[in-house]
Structure 1
Amino acid sequence: MSVPHTALAERVAAQRTDLPEVYGGIDFAAVPYRFTVDPAAPSALPARRGDRAAYLADTALVDLLRTATLLGDVTADRVAALSSSYRVSELVTMVAQVCRDGLDAHPDTPAPVAALIREMERLPDWIDRDLVERGAAVARLSAGLLAPFITRGAFIATFTNSYAALPMTITGALSGTRAAHRVNETTAFFAVTTLPGALDRYGPGFQAAAMVRLMHSMVRYNALHRSTRWDPAVYGIPVPQSDQLPAGLIGPYLTSLRALRSGRTEFTSGERAMVEFSRYRCFLLGLPEELVPSTPQGIVDMFHGRAATLRHGFDDDCLRLVRSTMDAYLRPGDGPFDRAADAVERSYSKVAFTQAFCDGDRAIARRMGVDLTFADYARVAVTAPFLAGRVLVVGLAARRRRLRPLVDRYLVRQVRHRLDVYGIPKYTSDVAEYAH
C-alpha cells in the first residue's frame, strides 16, 4: 500500500523531535540550496537525458524529491548516536551478532540496535518476496561477469556533484589507499547480496545491509556534529534517502531505459524479478516505498527527477574524488596478471565515464580528472569480444531450463571469486580519520 507524500513529510518533520541529538539543529521547513526548481539554475540532469522542464512541472514528483532530500534514517541514526557511549567497533560487533544469532540470543542488546534489526525483519506489503530469490539469480550474471568493469563507475557517478559528494569528502574515505578499500567494500556488498539466500533473515546479505545502513548513519551523525564544513542550509542532511536511490536502483534504471526504448511499458518476468530483488535490497537499506518504483517509467522518472532538482556543482573536491577513485588499485596481488587485469578494468571505467558524463568528449573528461588515452581504447577493443561474448553465451544458456542449474552454479562460483578479490568489508567509520 502506498504511503501518501504527506505521511513522508510528517516523518521528515518528526526527525527533529524524535532524535534531537542528531537533528536538533536542522530546520526541516527550509529547502536546502542544493535542491532547486529554478529553470535558470543548472542541474545534474544532462539535456540528452530528458526534458528538465517537464520534470519540474510534475509537482507531485518535485514534492516527493524535496521531501526525500531531507529524509534521513532515524532508526539507524539512533544506533549511530550510541557512538557517544560506545566505540564504533563495539556497535559493529553488536549489529553483526544479532544479525547472525538473532535478538533472543543477545537479550542485553541496546534498544536502538534491536529496533533496527526488527525493522529490517518486517517484510513490507509492497515487496513480493517470492520474486526476490529469482531476481537475485538474474542479478548474479552482472555480479559475476560484469562487476569488475563497472565498479568505479558506480562511485564516480556520485562524485560528479559537489552537493552529493561532500559526505565522502568529509570522511576522507576516498583519499590515498583507502579509496581502493571503499570501492571494493561497496562492490562486495552488492555482490554478496546476489548469492543464494543472501537476503534471508540470517543470510550474509541481510547482515551486510544492516552494516551499510549503520555506516551511512555514522557518516550522517559525524558530519552534522563534528564537521566544520557541513552547512544544513546549503546541503540539507548528509546522505539523504534521495542520494541513496541511484546506487540502489542503477540496474533497474538501465533495464527500464532499454524497456522504454524498445516500446515496452512493462517489464518481462525476468526483469520484474530483478527489479523486485533490487527494491527489497533498497528496503533493507532504509529507503521508503515512494523512492523505489516498480515500473519502467516510474524508475526513469525518479532518476531523472532527482537529477533535475539537484543543483549542478563540480568543485576541487569532486576532482580529487574522481582522480583518487580512478587511480585506486583494486586487485589483490601485484603480479603480471593482476596488473594487466587492473589496466583493462580501469580502461573500461574511463571509457564509460567519458561516454556517460562527458558526451564522449575526452577534453571534458580530462578536466574532470579522467585522462582517456589510445591505450585505453586499445585494451577495450581487444577484450570486448571476449567479455561481451561470455555474457551473451552465459545469458543464452541461462534461458534453457536444462542448463540453468549448471549456469547458476558457475555464476555463484564467479561471485564468490569476486568476493575473494574484493576482500571482506570492515564496515568502519572512524571520525579520527575524517578530513574535516
Structure 2
Amino acid sequence: MVTYYPELAKRVRSQRDLQPDLYGDFDFDRQPDRLATEPDVETALPSWAGDRAPILADDRVMELISTATLLGDIVADPYAALMNSYSLTQLIDMLKTACREGVEAVPDAPPELVAFIAAMEATPQWLDFDLVREGARQERIPAALLAPFITRGAFIATFTNSYAALPMALTGALSGKRAARRVNETASFFAVTTLPGALDRYGPGFEAAAMVRLMHSMVRYNALKRSVKGGRKWDTAIYGMPVPQVDQMPAGMIGQYLLALKAKQEGRKEFTAEERAVVEFARYRCFLLGLPEELLPAEPAGIIHVMHARSGLLRHGFDSICQELVRGTMSAYLRPGTSLFDRCAEAVEKSFSKFTFVRTFCGGNNDVAEAMGVTMGPTDLVRIALTAPFILGRFSVVSRASRIPVLRDVTDAYVIGLLKLRLATYGKPEFTTDSTHYTPVAH
C-alpha cells in the first residue's frame, strides 16, 4: 500500500504505459527477491557500518527503497528503445546535438528525445545554482588530486553484491580492456562535471550526464529484451529492474555520505556552509543522472539513513561473477602508455585503490577484502608510505590555499589545468554499451 510516496509510485507504474514493449510484462506489484525485508537475513549493510533495526522499523524509508527498486528511467528508457528504429550512432549523435545546440537543432527530433532533454532542463525548485558552482569549485580539488588514486577502489565496491553487479557482468565488463574503459569513463564523468560551468545547460557535464543515462538505459533494455532472444532470460522475480535508480544512488552520493558521517561523528546535525555547497552540487548532478528527489536527502541524518536503508534492504550475495568483476577490474591497466612513469603511476594507484576499498568498504578488515578478491600486501603499504606524503600533502596545501581569498583564483586555475591533464589521461569517454559484446551469465 502506497502511503508516503504516491508520486514516486505513480512514476514507477507509468513505465508500463510509457514503454509497453519493454515493461508490458514487468510485474510492478511484485517485490524481487533482491529486496530483503526479513528481519534476520544477511544484507549488503555490514554490522560495522550500521544497524538494520531502525530501517525495518521505519515504514517511510521501507516504502521509499521498495518503490525506487522498481524505478528505471522514465525518459531515457523510451529513447534507448528507439534502437529498434535507429542505429546506435544515430541515437548518440542526436543526443549530443540536442545537448550542445538544443533539440531544435536535431532534424525531425523524435518525441522521446524531446521528453528526455526537457526532463533534464526542468530545474528542480530546491536548486541553488550559486551553491552548485561553489560545490563544483571545491569538488574539483579532490577530483584532480585524489580521485585518480581511489576511483578504482570505489568502482569495485559496486561489484560486491550479486544482485547489483549482474548488469555489469552481462555487458561483458569482466575483461581487462572493457573494465579499464569503464573505470576511466567513471573517473572522467565525475571529473568533467566539476569543471567551471560543466553542469550548465550547454556544459560538458550536462552532456556527459545524458550520455551516462543513455548507456544505463541501453543496458536496461538489452538485459530485459536481448537476454530473452539469446536464451538468457533476465529473471525479474529475482533481480527486479536492471540498473534501478536505487543502485545509482551510492555512486552519486558516496562523498556526501562520508561528509554526513563526519558531521555525525563531530556531533553536528547540520552541514557547514562549505559542506552544504558540496552536497548541493552532488544532488544536482544526481538529478541530471535521473535520480528522483526522494533519494537525495539534504541533511546528514537523512543521507545516512537512506544510504543505510538501500544497503540494509539489498540481499547479500557475492558469487563467482562478483569475484571475476573485482579481479578483472583490479588487474586492468588504466594508464594511456607503458613508460616507466606510467607503470610506476599504475602501481601506486592500485595500492591506493586497494587501501581505499579495504578501509571504506570493508571496515578496515583485510580478510574480508581478500575474500572478495582484493589482496593488500606489504609492497602496497610501502608504496603508500612513500607516496602519501606528496599526494596527501599536496591535497592539503591546495585545499587550504583555496580558502584564502587572495589565493583562490590562482589555486583554482592550477586545479583546472591539472584536471584537464587528468581528463586527457582517462581518454575520450564513449558512455555506450554494445549488446553484441554481452556475455552469457549463468543464474
TM-score, length-scaled by structure 2: 0.96
Please say if residues 143 and 190 of structure 1, whose CA atoms lie closer than 8 Å, have aligned partners that are also in contact.
yes
Alpha-carbon shift at residue 427 of structure 1 (Å): 2.1
2:406 match: secondary structure: coil
- Superposed, 1:72-151 pairs within 5 Å as 72-151=72-151
- Superposed, 1:310-329 pairs within 5 Å as 310-329=314-333
- Match for 1:182: what amino acid? R
Please say if residues 174 and 182 of structure 1, whose CA atoms lie closer than 8 Å, have aligned partners that are also in contact.
no
- Match for 1:373: what amino acid? G
Q: Distance in 2 between matches of 1:51 and 1:181?
A: 36
1:245 is aligned to 2:249:
yes
Count of aligned pairs between the two proteins: 434
Mean CA deviation greater in 285-294 or 101-110: 101-110
Q: Distance in 2 between matches of 1:328 and 1:92?
A: 27
Q: Distance in 1 between matches of 2:255 and 2:358?
A: 19
1:432 to 411, 431, 436: 436
Corresponding position of 1:409: 413
1:202 is aligned to 2:206:
no
Please say if residues 263 and 271 of structure 2, whose CA atoms lie closer than 8 Å, have aligned partners that are also in contact.
yes
Mean CA deviation greater in 223-232 or 103-112: 103-112
Corresponding position of 1:262: 266
1:5 is aligned to 2:5:
yes
Alpha-carbon shift at residue 118 of structure 1 (Å): 1.2
Q: Distance in 2 between matches of 1:222 and 1:48?
A: 37
- Match for 2:201: what amino acid? R
Mean CA deviation greater in 215-224 or 173-182: 173-182
Alpha-carbon shift at residue 26 of structure 1 (Å): 0.8
Residues 135/337 of structure 1: CA separation in 2 closer, same or farther (3 Å cut): same
Alpha-carbon shift at residue 4 of structure 1 (Å): 5.2
Mean CA deviation greater in 344-353 or 363-372: 363-372
- Match for 1:312: what amino acid? H
TM-score, length-scaled by structure 1: 0.97
1:271 is aligned to 2:281:
no
Q: Distance in 1 between matches of 2:332 and 2:16?
A: 39
Q: Distance in 2 between matches of 1:360 and 1:157?
A: 14
Corresponding position of 1:52: 52
Corresponding position of 1:29: 29
Alpha-carbon shift at residue 154 of structure 1 (Å): 2.2
- Match for 1:333: what amino acid? G
Structure 1 stretches lacking a partner, 5+ long: none
1:41 is aligned to 2:55:
no
Please say if residues 36 and 311 of structure 1, whose CA atoms lie closer than 8 Å, have aligned partners that are also in contact.
yes
Alpha-carbon shift at residue 426 of structure 1 (Å): 1.2
Q: Distance in 2 between matches of 1:98 and 1:360?
A: 45
- Match for 1:158: what amino acid? T
Q: Distance in 2 between matches of 1:68 and 1:326?
A: 30
- Superposed, 1:346-385 pairs within 5 Å as 346-385=350-389
Q: Distance in 1 between matches of 2:341 and 2:198?
A: 31
Identity of paired residues, percent?
57
Q: Distance in 1 between matches of 2:313 and 2:386?
A: 40
Corresponding position of 2:308: 304
Mean CA deviation greater in 327-336 or 15-24: 15-24
Please say if residues 214 and 432 of structure 2, whose CA atoms lie closer than 8 Å, have aligned partners that are also in contact.
no
Please say if residues 192 and 198 of structure 1, whose CA atoms lie closer than 8 Å, have aligned partners that are also in contact.
yes
Deviations 1:155-181 (A, max 9, x none): 111100000000000011242311111
Alpha-carbon shift at residue 368 of structure 1 (Å): 1.2
Please say if residues 11 and 74 of structure 2, whose CA atoms lie closer than 8 Å, have aligned partners that are also in contact.
no
- Superposed, 1:142-161 pairs within 5 Å as 142-161=142-161
Q: Distance in 2 between matches of 1:229 and 1:317?
A: 17
Q: Distance in 1 between matches of 2:6 and 2:429?
A: 37
Alpha-carbon shift at residue 360 of structure 1 (Å): 3.3
Q: Distance in 1 between matches of 2:297 and 2:35?
A: 21
Deviations 1:120-169 (A, max 9, x none): 11111122222111110010111010011111122111100000000000
Alpha-carbon shift at residue 229 of structure 1 (Å): 4.4
Q: Distance in 1 between matches of 2:195 and 2:174?
A: 27
